[in-house]
Amino acid sequence: MANEFAIKVENVSMCFNMSKERLDSLKEYFIKLMRRQLNFTEFYALKDVSFEIPCGQVCGIVGLNGSGKSTLLKVISGILKPTVGKATTIGSISPLIELGAGFDMELTARENIFLNGAVLGYSKKMMEDKFDEIIEFAELQDFVDVVIKNFSSGMVARLGFAIATITKPDILIVDEILAVGDFLFQQKCERRIHEMMAGGTTVVIVSHSIDQIERLCQRVIWLEKGRIRMDGPVEPVCNAYKGL
């Protein structure tokens, strides 16, 4: 039988070492490091988080700033290795984690499309075939050969979303980036996510827009200080979260 889950997170904890001191130079850092005078405090951004997302489910993640949402998405995407536990994903995965991640700000939109395609493991031929569709979806026809450091943040987000969704990944991970697009583009993104859902893609969305979560998701996980506070159908979880 085929695997029933697309994403499985097992007892994941993520510990960061945070330096509380302010050091004025790298030299000072190394001197302190050699003398073992650096004080790090351990900070758990995720604490014993476990859940499974079945294939084809659209799951939202909510929580206040710093609750561990982006860290969790990075663990799922394999960008961060958890301190404890493990995350397993099945199938191809398109992570849209940070605005402009995977882009080179000194290159044009055209160059970045090919760069990003290569990073995602797509052939040059395929990117050539998909090029017009990407530009059209992102509505950047007039900016194809503009260096993207001159783009607005919404324009960068459009390009990122257009590239990440040009092929149908088995898993789409979206961290907040829809938020910088204007309302028309957000509607367009939501339509595309609906199309992908219809095609069976598993989607994980982090958003501070509870409306957006309610429109798109079937299930919501609420993170609080790195732990799962609530996990279940959209309505009860969103209502409880809004009641904070």
Q: List contacts with ligand ATP (CB under 6 A).
A: 16, 18, 45, 63, 65-71
The whole-angstrom separation of Cα 143 and Cα 150 is 10
The whole-angstrom separation of Cα 103 and Cα 109 is 9
Which of 66/236 has CB closer to ligand ATP?
66
Instruction: Kindly compute the dihedral angle of the four CA atoms of residues 205, 74, 84, 91, in this order, to the nearest 10 degrees.
Output: 70
**Which partner from the list ligand ATP, Mg ion, none does 174 bind, CB cut-off 5 to 8 Å by kind?**
none
Which of 32/47 has CB closer to ligand ATP?
47
Q: CB of 198: closest distance to ligand ATP in angstroms? A: 28
Tell me whether residue 192 is exposed, middle or buried, using C-beta atoms within 10 angstroms of its C-beta: 0 to 12, 13 to 18, 19 or more.
middle
Q: What are phi and psi of 232, to 5 degrees?
A: 175, -160
Which of 109/213 has CB closer to ligand ATP?
213
Say whether 28 sits in a helix, a strand or coil: helix
Can you tell me which of 57, 67, 70, 202 binds Mg ion, judged by CB under 5 A? 70
Which of 117/181 has CB closer to Mg ion?
181
Q: CB of 41: closest distance to ligand ATP in angstroms? A: 10
Q: Which residues bind Mg ion (CB under 5 A)?
A: 69-70
